[in-house]
Structure formats: structure tokens, C-alpha cells
Amino acid sequence: MRFVGAIVFSIAIVLAAYFLGNAYVKRANTNDVIAVTGSGTSNFTSDLIVWEGTFSRFSKNLQQAYEQIAADKKTVNDYLIGKGIKPDNIIFNSVNTTERSESKYDNGNFVGQEFLGYDLRQSIKIESNDVELIEKVSREITELLNQGVQFNSIPPRYYYTKLSDLKIEMISKATEDAKLRAEKIAENSGGKLGSLKKADMGVFQITGQNSGEDYSWGGAYNTSSKKKTASITMRLQYEID
């Protein structure tokens, strides 16, 4: 009796799956249409790095400050070239000059501003396909402190120059995944997959590998991780024959 009961129970499960699958197809669209969403993912490594930093000088004498920061610029440039970075990859921006002052008070009353000196700041940007080299130099840049240069480094940003090709590949993967899902649903519901009626592309996302980043409605675009994961969704509608 237990054996017979088990068989009856198994048959009931199969029938329930069939009717549920069939109901899903009908609910998807009143005109016998299957709507499915497929996804595609791919891991890749960035092939372009952008690294920025600044160095500064302060002096009451403006000319002296300019001479000091000009000397720092040469020191930074020579250091980077000595590390193997090509001159064409090094971009120095113009010097930013601001006056520094502080408020003065007498018995709690403001009496004016006292001039302290000039802050001079120059930024530098490096773009290179030699990701490993720039990463290494960005970690060693504190060596400039030993040469008297106050250098402030910003964490590198990572990009991928073949993003258009990757996106096409991801669309193909997501479309294939969606089609396989549609075929399975049609098969389980006793129908046959017909022609494609509509295809909509979802948001293209780029996140850091194993980063736990959240996806964004507008599309996440990670620039802080060298190793990234790309993903995209495709929503397809098929007729049912």
C-alpha cells in the first residue's frame, strides 16, 4: 500500500507541475505569449588605469612658492620616468594658487583678516595600459617624501577599453539564456516555442569581483576594482505554437 501511495503522490506532483506551467504561459499574455528574462555575466580584468595625485607648497613669498613647486614638478617627473612610466602618459595640470589667511579677534570682536601666505597646488594625472606598473608606482609614491615633496596620492581608477565588444557578448549570452528558459517553459506546458515577438535589453552593470556591490537602476559602473564582473539582462517575448 505504501508503494502504491508513493506512485500516486508522484503522479500528482507531475500533473501539478504541468498545470502550473500551462497556467504560467497563459498568465504571461492572453495571446499565448511566453515572457522570459535571461541573464549573462562575464568576468574580466581592466586594461586601462588612471591614477591622479597632487603636490603642494606654502610660502609667504609667492615667487619663492612658485620656484619650490616648479622644483617639485621636476622631481616628480624624474621619479615617475625613472620608475618606467612613459612621458606621454604623464599629464601635469596648471598650478592652483590660493591665499591663506585667518580671522583675528580683539576681546571677542572681529578685527579683520591676517594674511599668512600662499598655497600652491599642482595636480598630475597618469593614464596607461600598463596596469601592473602604475599600480606598483602608486604604492611606492611615498618615497617622494624622502625627497621633500608633499605628494598626495588618490587611489587608481580602472577601466576596460573593449567594453563595446564585451557588451555585445553579454547581450548574446543573456538572449541565449532567455531562449532556453522559454523553450523549457513551452515544453513543460505542452506547447512549442514560436517566433520572437519582442526583445528588451536590461541595464548593463559592472561591479567589482567578489565585492558584494549592489546593482543600480541606472547601472552600476565600478572603477575601483581591477577585476570586474559584467552582467546584463534580456527580456524576450515568444509566441506559442
Provide the pLDDT confidence category of residue 59 given band limits of 50, 70 and 90.
very high
- The predicted structure's pLDDT at residue 211: 77
CA pair distance 71, 74, nearest whole angstrom: 5
H or E segment and range at residue 175: helix 163-188
- The predicted structure's pLDDT at residue 117: 93
- The predicted structure's pLDDT at residue 228: 95
CA pair distance 221, 208, nearest whole angstrom: 9
The chain-wide mean pLDDT, for the chain, equals 86
Provide the pLDDT confidence category of residue 23 given band limits of 50, 70 and 90.
very low
Q: Sign of torsion, CA 74 80 83 85?
A: negative
Share of the chain above pLDDT 90, in %: 66
The Cα diameter of the chain in Å comes to 102
More confident residue, 69 or 203: 69
- The predicted structure's pLDDT at residue 33: 86
Does the structure show a pLDDT above 80 at 176?
yes
Looking at domain 49-157, its CATH superfamily turns out to be Protein of unknown function (DUF541), domain 2 (3.30.70.2970)
- Mean pLDDT of all residues in 199-211: 89
- Mean pLDDT of all residues in 198-215: 86
Provide the pLDDT confidence category of residue 24 given band limits of 50, 70 and 90.
very low
More confident residue, 161 or 186: 161
Q: Are 241 and 216 in contact (CB under 8 A)?
A: no
Distance of CA 213 to the CA centre of its chain: 10
Architecture of domain 2-45+161-240: 2-Layer Sandwich (3.30)
Provide the pLDDT confidence category of residue 194 given band limits of 50, 70 and 90.
confident
Lowest mean pLDDT among 28-37, 64-73, 78-87, 113-122: 28-37
- Mean pLDDT of all residues in 210-231: 84
What's the pLDDT tens digit per position in 31-58?
588 899 999 999 999 999 999 999 999 9
Class of residue 148 by CB neighbours under 10 A (exposed 0-12, middle 13-18, buried 19+) = exposed
- Mean pLDDT of all residues in 123-129: 97
- The predicted structure's pLDDT at residue 214: 72
Domain boundaries in the chain? 2-45+161-240, 49-157
Share of the chain above pLDDT 70, in %: 87
- The predicted structure's pLDDT at residue 110: 80
- pTM summary value: 0.76
